[in-house]
Amino acid sequence: MTTPDFWSIPESTLSPTQLAEKTAVLKERLVDITSRFSDVRFATSLAAEDMVITDAIAQSKTNIPLFTLATGRLHQETIDMAKITENHYGVVIAKAYPTEEDVQAFIDQYGMNGFYDGEEAKKACCSARKIKPLNQALLGADAWLTGQRREQSTTRVELNFEEHDDARGIAKFNPLFDWTEADVWAYIRQENVPIHPLHLKGYPSIGCEPCTRQVKKGEDIRAGRWWWLQSDSKECGLHVNQ
C-alpha cells in the first residue's frame, strides 16, 4: 500500500526586494489600524498566517494583544504552539474558553462527536466552542484582526483589507488579504518565525483535532477542514456576519 503524498510547505518565487516591500506594507497596515482604533485585538490560531501577523506585530511594536480560542478539542501541538509563541515573543496569549454550559448543551443534543452528523450539528459545535468565546473575547474592542487571505477558499475571494463586522458592530481587518500562500512561507523563512509542527506533517490549515486532517498534494488547502461535509464553504462561522 503506497503512502499518500501530502501537502508540503511551498517554495517562494518572491525576490528579497519584493518580500521586503510586502513586509513594509504589512507593518504599515498594522500601524494604520492602531492609529485609528484604540482597542484592537488579534485572534490567532497559531497557524502560519497568524504567526506572520504575530511576528509583524512584534516588529512594528504596535502592541496589539493576542488571544486564541481554546476550544477544548485542539491538537496538543496547538496547545504547545501557544507556549512556544509566548516564549519566543515575550507575550501573553489570552485564552478564550467555551462555557461548560454551552459545551454540555451541545453534547446533550448531538453527542460529543455529533458534528460528524451534518452541517447543522457542526455549526452548533462551532457556535459553542468558537463563536461564543470569540464574542466574549472581543467585548469592548473596537477592531480585530484575522489571518484570512483571498486565496484560501471560494468564500474569501472578495475579501478586503478592511470590513465592518456587522455581527459584533466593530471594524475587522485582514492584513494578509492579498498575500499568497507562498508569500506567507517566504516571510516565515526570512524572519525565522516559529512553525506549527502540524504544518510539517501535511496540514496547511489547522483547526480542532477531530475536524482537521492532512491534505493530499493537489487538494484544496482547506480540504482537510470538516472533510466529511460536501461543501465549498469550509467555514466555522467566525467570519460570517450574522
182-233 pLDDT, tens per residue?
999 999 999 999 999 999 999 999 999 999 999 999 998 889 999 998 765 5
How much is the mean pLDDT over the chain?
93
Query: Considering the domain boundaries, does residue 137 fall inside one?
Result: yes
Q: What residues pair up with 216 in beta bridges, in sequence order?
A: 6
- Which pLDDT does position 174 carry in this prediction? 97
For residue 41, which phi and psi values (nearest 5 degrees)?
A: -130, 150
For residue 169 the three cell numbers come to 458592530
Q: What is the pLDDT of residues 136-188, one digit of tens each?
A: 999 999 999 999 999 876 666 789 999 999 999 999 999 999 999 999 999 99
Question: Out of 125, 126, 208, 236, which one is annotated catalytic?
Answer: 236
pTM score, whole prediction: 0.93
CA distance 108 to 154: 34
pLDDT score recorded for residue 151? 87
Domain range for 119 is 16-211
pLDDT at residue 238 in the model: 57
How does residue 242 score in pLDDT terms, banded at 50, 70 and 90? very low
Confidence (pLDDT) at 239: 47
Q: What CATH number is attached to the domain comprising 67? A: 3.40.50.620
Going by C-alpha positions, the residue among 80, 78, 51, 44 that lies closest to residue 209 is: 78
* Confidence at residue 152, expressed as pLDDT on a 0 to 100 scale: 77
Mean pLDDT of 28-39: 98
Taking only the tens place, the pLDDT of each residue in 50-68 is 999 999 999 999 999 999 9
Q: What angle do CA 139, 145, 52 make, to 5 degrees?
A: 140
Residue found under cell 454540555: 104
Is residue 86 included in any domain, yes or no? Answer: yes
The answer to whether position 217 is within a domain reads: no
Q: Is residue 4 part of a domain?
A: no
pLDDT of residue 3: 65
In a domain? residue 230: no
Q: Give the total residue count for the chain.
A: 242
Q: Is 208 a residue of the active site? A: no
Total domains in the chain come to 1
Kindly state whether residue 185 falls inside one of the protein's structural domains. Answer: yes
pLDDT, one tens digit per residue, over 70-115 is: 999 999 999 999 999 999 999 999 999 999 999 999 999 999 999 9
Q: How far is Cα 51 from Cα 53, in angstroms, rounded to an integer?
A: 5
Q: Look at residue 43 and tell me if it is in a domain.
A: yes
Q: What's the alpha-carbon Rg for the chain, to the nearest Å?
A: 18
